Structure 1
């Protein structure tokens, strides 16, 4: 994608909503254990997954929205807007954590099966709720599958000083981001987290993908746009995707040679391995060449639900996190039967879409009345 802060007022890029909705759907399916529909998500066929897409788009959108405010109203106003958004994300995370942990404890209690409490890392919440809540307030305790929003909170918080430099020296900002990424991987920098030891998504490495998105959203990639859209670069990207597909399938169904890193190794994701970035950039180049901002495909009715979920990304994401455990519980209750997996997955996507449309309807302004007033 290419764009600039000036483009923000020229019309909404539906591709952002489409890919945000796709990321929400994929995260829901990937977070549901034993869900057959999760085989449709990109994580099974390459190195990157929906988390990479989510972080990149978050940076891209942050540049579009907040840098425009910076230019129009100044840095203080923009910083205040970012701070308000960080607080909203923080409140949303804590709310989801309480609902999510409460649902897991309740289901484990009524079913008499404590396995989920341990599997989803909420045993500490059941045994010592006040201690767990204190750690949750500090973002040092997170149940399984609740790592994305804390990462977003940290990255958006870093964007408060970062956008000041980005607005003046975009290439220097990206270079400094790359230096931090390399140093973090070399020295093992990460934030502490109880029980798990460190954050599952290392913010010192994942910030590179966020600021790469912000750099593109700011419009710094426009000068190299013709190169990125050239046939040569397109087919190189296609070749990269083909190679990573072969490696991913080999890792899934065969034995990888010792010299090839396993793309499904948790450390590969925690510290954002370079191969994940390469795979994601290749995906972005192919998608940008095949799907232009004015593409008629963006108006297909079949894509409307996904676009709606992208437009209401935060509430849909939060709802999807809780739904992922509910779907897991239903699948376990149904003994992992295929029809139960299909039903739980499709019902979850339908409910997420319903929330998106309901939020859209609730947030619409009331119609204006034209006529004489009393």
Structure 2
């Protein structure tokens, strides 16, 4: 989450005449990035299955934020990690071209996911004579007006249920090149500019229109703040915050805030607890808006990050054990695993609706889905290693394998 790196290689060499203002980018990947992104993908999969009893183990039920914040923050961190070095070595134009190429790859993946996902939903709805599938998954408009809906889908305005993350990521990457340029030269100014955009979004209600009505579920004008903050941490910000994060006062405040968020969340499921929440607090915290990344959600993510950094150091031995490897390899192939998770989530919903809705079925479907994701990631890792051949002796484990 907020990752503390080595003191070497994070700050500019001020005595050099060429580009003395540009902060170097670390050369070794932090395996915690892949670990927590892989775990976030698992949690997103579990949360995407409607009425999934196993989703009670995910963090969304016990506080204000969920796995989306983790995914977006780490995506920003990783993007800066990969493209920051490219911008230093090859300049703005080359780095911007690589960033836009990655955005295009994700766009193509989104289009393929959209087409196959619609086919999956339509086939199941027709084969089992259950039109509720098309209504629940938000594809009823496509079946009524496929010509208009396809155009709107290509414009990223029409998105079935569970397909909102990739369009957000595409938009964040499209605008990332100038943000990265500023982050490398004036990181504090870049972060202030990102925060200013967030404030302006809140004041003027900026968002992108969706089809057939409404706005984007994840407002890119809001979620860019977390993405840019992740990039800022990757380019030296985490080192600046190290003293603050490691402070006992900060840790105590983080634990206290998580406790407060936990209590508030419990009032949602146990109404008898609601009277114990002071009315003045309830009047001021609701609604806790996910679309516009409510401040309470940001603070909840920060609190989780502080605790994680304090108890999961960069050199944590468990990162090199077989127990961590499944999540790490899933995090290293995040695009493919996310797309697979969307298909598997709908398949799980189908099983609950048409086969069995028992608790044991929920457990079997959830565990099987994660196992399929891990097996797919392992296959992709094997194929990547075969294509690349043996690693040179100086290669750093976990560095070359991740998605930006």
TM-score by length of 2: 0.87
C-alpha contact (below 8 Å) 1:34/1:341 kept by paired residues = no
1:211 CA displacement: 0.7
1-structure distance, mates of 2:52, 2:115:
24
C-alpha contact (below 8 Å) 2:40/2:67 kept by paired residues = yes
Q: 2:362 matched to 1:360?
A: no
2-structure distance, mates of 1:339, 1:8:
46
1-structure distance, mates of 2:385, 2:183:
34
Q: Which residue of 2 aligns with 1:322?
A: 343
1-structure distance, mates of 2:284, 2:340:
28
For residue 310 of structure 1, the aligned residue among 327, 331, 355 is 331
> Do the aligned partners of residues 330 and 266 (structure 1) sit closer, same or farther apart at CA in structure 2, a change above 3 Å counting?
farther
C-alpha contact (below 8 Å) 1:251/1:262 kept by paired residues = no
1:365 CA displacement: 3.4
Q: Which residue of 2 aligns with 1:371?
A: none
Compute the RMSD of aligned alpha carbons: 1.9
1:313 CA displacement: 0.9
C-alpha contact (below 8 Å) 1:8/1:65 kept by paired residues = no
Q: How many residue pairs get matched?
A: 367
Q: Which residue of 2 aligns with 1:372?
A: none
C-alpha contact (below 8 Å) 1:29/1:324 kept by paired residues = yes
1:91 CA displacement: 0.5
1:264 CA displacement: 11
Q: Could you say what secondary structure the match of 2:237 adopts? A: coil
Q: Deviations over 1:53-105 (max 9, x none)?
A: 11111111111111111111111111011011000010011111111111111
2-structure distance, mates of 1:361, 1:195:
42
Runs of 5+ unmatched residues, structure 2: 11-22, 391-404
Q: Which residue of 1 aligns with 2:168?
A: 151
Q: Which residue of 2 aligns with 1:270?
A: 291
More helix by share: 1
C-alpha contact (below 8 Å) 1:28/1:320 kept by paired residues = yes
1-structure distance, mates of 2:365, 2:117:
17
Q: Could you say what secondary structure the match of 2:290 adopts? A: helix
C-alpha contact (below 8 Å) 2:172/2:220 kept by paired residues = yes
For residue 166 of structure 1, the aligned residue among 183, 192, 209 is 183
Q: 2:346 matched to 1:288?
A: no
1:263 CA displacement: 12
1:158 CA displacement: 1.1
Q: Which residue of 1 aligns with 2:200?
A: 183
2-structure distance, mates of 1:318, 1:132:
21
C-alpha contact (below 8 Å) 1:20/1:313 kept by paired residues = yes
TM-score by length of 1: 0.94
C-alpha contact (below 8 Å) 2:288/2:296 kept by paired residues = no
1-structure distance, mates of 2:280, 2:98:
47
C-alpha contact (below 8 Å) 2:38/2:329 kept by paired residues = yes
2-structure distance, mates of 1:164, 1:8:
16
C-alpha contact (below 8 Å) 1:47/1:264 kept by paired residues = no
Q: How does 1:22-61 map to 2 (within 5 A)?
A: 22-61=39-78
C-alpha contact (below 8 Å) 1:24/1:316 kept by paired residues = yes
